[in-house]
Structure formats: structure tokens, C-alpha cells
Amino acid sequence: MKDHMRSVHRHVDDETRDLLKKEIEERVADSALDPDRDTEILARIGAWALRRTLPSEALGALEGFAASGNHALLLDNLPQPDAPPTPVHGFADEERLPVLNALHFGLIRLLGLTPYAVGYENRGRLIRNVVPNPEAAGTASSWGADSEFFWHTDNPHLPFGGPGVNPRLYVPRYLTFCVGRNHEQVPTELMALETALDHVPDDTLRVLAEPRFEVAAPDSNDLADDGNRRVYGRTPVLEPDRDDGPRVRYDRGTTRARDRAAAEALDAWADALTAAPCWRPVLRPGHFLVFDNYRVVHRRGAFEPAPDHEARWLRRCYAS
């Protein structure tokens, strides 16, 4: 079985890591910087320090990623500032995390992307703390742990966007992650769309590309004003794109078929995702991951969290 995942991995040496940390720490010292209020300041500090210190191979990988056709990019051995206890109830004291936030927004800037949030998720905040929140027990959510979060794309209940648009109205193009901790060594599983397509018969692909499905918002989204989930109706699961090839919108828990043939196609799609090979990086402090949410599905298996203050803690930001 061929794995079509095209990922780039760049390592930062210890000397560069330490210099990068020093440069950022000097510029955020004695400042109360909030990622939602001071996004531009943090991004400018981070991008300046990264350009000054990173080797050309890493800078080139970042600056060329969006146009490269690659599915994902992983940097490792970035600075690892001391992290406070894991904010298992979802929200951290962000002013205690200026180095991590400057790195995160600086890296997004080097990618040529814009960080953004949506008002109906995560209280409209840019940074989503991916933590085992006890209040999300039993849900397929980035705040879950005890339930598998099956293969999905983020916010699939929206249309796909394009250049020069307000990204809040569309499926997020890129997901970016920094890491607080991951003592449990839970992998973040990624699969290229092309890999999954290889495992689906042509007649099933044709059904998946027809507007015979409804996709509702995930558990992480607030309900609409009428008290119901937002739903994108009469949509395909697979959509072609002239420039990027096929794109996918899917969440097993919220995607519904409108007829019997569509239901059979959804079952075959889920079976293909279960059988196909994938990339399973274990994200650790000092890692930065970005992947294309239009062309990559991702998954997190169920796991037993460490004690609250030491539990798994990733930090996600949408970018477009």
C-alpha cells in the first residue's frame, strides 16, 4: 500500500535553538503580551528572531511550504520554555507564554499565512489548547481523550475558500501546532487524501463527489442561534480543485448521507481510512507542525491522560 504523504522534516541544532530562545526572551521581557490582543507584536518578534537564527534549509522549507504541494511540515528542537500546568479546562494564562506564542505566530508569518479564529468556537480565541478536558468526556473533540477522534478534517461544515477571502467563512486551510507537553506520547495521525483515495473503488469515489451528504459542525463548535448545530447541506465529501487536486470535508460523527447509495459510499470511505497507511508523529515540546486541512485527514486515538497538571497539551492555531 503506497503512502502518498509528502512531509518535510527539519531539525534545529542546539546552538541555534538556544540563540533563538535568547533573542525572543530579550524582546518579550517585562511585557504582558496576549495572543489575541498583541498578535502582530508577537508575530513580528518571533519572525525577526527566526529569520536571524534559523538555517537557510529551515527558512526555505517554511517560506516555500504553501506553494510546495507538500502535505505537512515538522520542525523539531525549537526552544522549549517552561510550561505552566496543563490548562485542562481549556484556557491558559496566555501572558505566561510569550516565548511560545512569539514562536508560534512567527512561524505562521514565515509560512506566509495569517492566523485567525472564529467566534463560534473556543470563545473566539486564536490559540486552542488541545487538552483532555473532563467536561468533554465521551465526545469526539480536541478536548476529548477517552473516545477515539476518528479521521476528520477541521470545521468540515463550511465551504472551501480561495485566495483573497475572509478565512472565517471557510474550512480552515492550515492547522498549526506547538506543544506544551505530551508525556503520554499520543501520536497525531495524519493521512494524505491521495493515500485514502487509492483504497476506494471508482464507483464509490463518484458518489462521494456528488452533493448527496450533509455535514454538521463538530462538537467543538457552539450551537447556532436557533439552538441547533450548523449544517452544510447537499454537499459532496470530495471536491475537485483546478490547482490543488481533490479536497475533502469529513467528520464521521457529523457527516450524514441523504440516500442509501451515499450511506454505502460513506461506509466504504470509513473502511478505506481504517485500512490505509498513515504518518504518526508523536509531537513533543520543541516541535512545530503544520498541515493542509484540505488535503489531509487527521486522527487521535483514545488515551489515558496523565494527571491534570501534566496531561497532554498541544496548542493549535488556524491559518490561511
Sign, CA dihedral 236-238-241-244, equals positive
Name the residue with cell 448545530.
229
Closest of 107, 162, 164, 114 to residue 290, by C-alpha: 107
Model's pTM, two decimal places? Answer: 0.96
| pLDDT tens string 212-239 | 999 998 877 766 777 788 888 899 999 9
**Which run of H or of E encompasses 141?**
none
Q: What does the alpha-carbon distance between residue 4 and residue 94 come to, in Å, rounded to a whole number?
A: 37
Q: What does the alpha-carbon distance between residue 168 and residue 292 come to, in Å, rounded to a whole number?
A: 16
The CATH homologous superfamily of the domain defined by 7-193+282-319: Clavaminate synthase-like (3.60.130.10)
Residues facing 176 on adjacent strands: 290, 317
Closest of 292, 296, 294, 264 to residue 278, by C-alpha: 296
Name the residue with cell 484540505.
294
**Which run of H or of E encompasses 96?**
none
DSSP string, 190-224: EEEHHHHHTTS-HHHHHHHTSS-EEEEPPTTBPPP
pLDDT tens over the chain, length 320 residues: 689 999 999 999 999 999 999 999 999 998 999 999 999 999 999 999 999 999 999 999 999 999 999 999 999 999 999 999 999 999 999 999 999 999 999 999 999 999 999 998 999 999 999 999 998 888 878 898 988 899 999 999 999 998 899 999 999 999 999 999 999 999 999 999 999 999 999 999 999 999 999 999 887 776 677 778 888 889 999 998 877 789 999 999 999 999 999 999 999 999 999 999 999 999 999 999 999 999 999 999 999 999 999 999 999 999 99
| pLDDT tens string 48-66 | 999 999 999 999 999 999 9
Domain extents for the chain?
A: 7-193+282-319, 195-275
